[in-house]
Structure 1
Amino acid sequence: MYEEISISVEQASDAKVLIISVAARLAGMHPQTLRQYDRLGLVQPGRAGGGGRRYSERDVALLREVQKLSQEEGVNLAGIKRIIGLEQLVGDLQHRIAELEDQVEAAYARVAQLESMNPYASRGDLVRQETHSTALVVWRPRRSPDK
């Protein structure tokens, strides 16, 4: 009856081109369900000039994930919204970590370049530490003399 289409969330397009009836069919849902999910903020479709909803392949993949969490895992819609929000936060943080790692690499390269240009610079002043310390430091404020 319907052609099975598989969409990977990681590789899915963000282009908001699918009208609600097509997105609903691809997600295996009723269009009214998509409207409800939009109202609840689970999926944010784009809007066409006339106000009609437009969905991307990524939105369809997300709708399928919502359906799976709801039907197979028994998660309520509030829980699904929280899961989606946390997954987006994790993705944003991973992206920021990658940016910061690139900046650190660039800084080390710049330091190495500057050290190589200075004949008086002692070698090995900056040493990269690969292991992270798990030391616990306890700080207590000094007591005032009047106590």
Structure 2
Amino acid sequence: MDETTRVFVISTAAELAGMHPQTLRQYDRLGLVSPERTPGKSRRYSMLDVAKLREIAELGSEGVSLEGIRRILELEDHVRGLENRLRELESTLADELLNRPGRRVFAAGSAGDVISMKAGTRTRRSNQVVIWRQPRP
């Protein structure tokens, strides 16, 4: 069993979250926490759901409205998804670098553009000095 396994009935989840079961029903209607349903239509909550309920209670005690809480939870879920995608891309890049060492190198151009270079080559650096003088009035 892990933290996503939905095992708690509504009364147990409400007790763990320090809430009334009717509050959990309201949050389910609002889409703040969506438990799974059994074939008999009863709700089942996971430890992640209970943690989310506690977060909702904390935000509510700080004066955040239910709509504000919904938006915060939505943004947190979005950030979590982006972080997961970033980890996937980093893993893919690391695998690619391991599978194709020295194939391609990139550098940044003066205008911020990306320049593809062969491995072992260097960019040319400008050795020019620019002097700026403030014009006299």
Same fold flag (TM > 0.5): yes
> 1:128 Cα deviation (Å)?
5.7
Shift of 1:133: 8.1
Match of 1:6 in 2: none
Structure 2 unaligned regions, length at least 5: 114-137
Residue 74 of structure 1 corresponds to which residue in structure 2? Answer: 63
Q: 2:13 aligns with which of 23, 27, 43?
A: 23
Alignment equivalent of 1:58, drawn from 48, 62, 85: 48
Distance 1:98 1:133, change over 3 A: farther
Q: Map 1:1-147 onto structure 2 (within 5 A).
A: 13-71=3-61, 73-112=62-101, 126-127=104-105
TM-score (norm: length of structure 1): 0.69
| Uncovered stretches (5+) of structure 1, i.e. residues with no partner | 1-11, 113-123, 138-147
Cα offsets for 1:27-47 (capped at 9, x unmatched): 110000000000000001011
Relative contact order (alpha carbons < 8 A, sep ≥ 6): 1 or 2 greater?
1
Length-normalised TM-score, structure 2: 0.74
Query: Could you say what the CA RMSD is over the residues aligned between the two structures, in angstroms?
Result: 2.2
Percent identity between matched residues is 50
User: 1:64/1:125 Cα in 2 relative to 1: closer, same or farther (>3 Å)?
Assistant: closer
Over alpha carbons, which structure has the higher Rg?
2
For residues 126 and 61 of structure 1, do their structure 2 counterparts lie closer, same or farther at Cα, with a shift above 3 Å needed?
A: same
User: In the aligned structure 1, how far is the partner of 2:91 from the partner of 2:47?
Assistant: 30
**3-state DSSP class of the match of 1:61?**
helix
1:141 alignment partner in structure 2: none
Runs of 4+ off more than 2 Å: 124-129, 132-137
Length, aligned pairs only: 112
**Whole-angstrom CA distance in 1 between matches of 2:18 and 2:97:** 51
